[in-house]
Structure 1
């Protein structure tokens, strides 16, 4: 997989061009994540945030707090991309 392949998913993101709206404070994060519903690259987005321990904003439909909790619960996973994007990797 090349760097271009890795970044290519961002071009198909439903939130493309809406970055400011996806980095709200507190309770507004839950509203912001509705943008992710039905997004074709939701798994890639979430994997990016989890693999890189991105602490801010809504990624792949999960808030900062939800991602931190998942990372604490699943310390056994070394590649979220491999777990969440397995179907895409086989294509």
Structure 2
């Protein structure tokens, strides 16, 4: 008996993905990756792409995908490359502040415990 293919045949239904409900579904992909080569400023291109995102029911899922997979280019979830990079930087800084605060609290507790035990 021949082994079945590890690839699903095209006749099987594709499982649901959040992008199935995206407003941008079927739009030209280049629209969401403004390069500024068309003579129109990139900011203007980004603003136009973001008009789709503003009414999209899966905007949060799109942004989550872009941040999780570190999408480096384009407009995702209504945010440009630089805006997402700023979000990631702020999240890293906040995590570092939290780590330092927890370390300081742990050291203070250890010092208090050592003083109480003495």
Instruction: Give yes or no for TM over 0.5.
Output: yes
Q: 1:21 aligned to 31, 52, 58, which one?
A: 31
Aligned-CA RMSD value: 1.3
CA drift at 1:31: 2.3
- Whole-Å Cα distance in 2 between the matches of residues 47 and 17 of structure 1? 21
Q: Which has the larger radius of gyration?
A: 2
TM-score by length of 1: 0.71
Cα shift readout 1:34-63 (whole Å, capped 9, x = no counterpart): 110121100000000000100111000000
- Greater relative contact order (Cα 8 A, min sep 6): structure 1 or 2? 1
The aligned length equals: 71
- Whole-Å Cα distance in 2 between the matches of residues 16 and 23 of structure 1? 15
- Consecutive unaligned residues in structure 1, runs of 5 or more: 77-91
Structure 1: which 4+ aligned runs deviate by more than 3 Å? none
- Whole-Å Cα distance in 1 between the matches of residues 21 and 48 of structure 2? 21
- Consecutive unaligned residues in structure 2, runs of 5 or more: 1-14, 36-41, 96-118
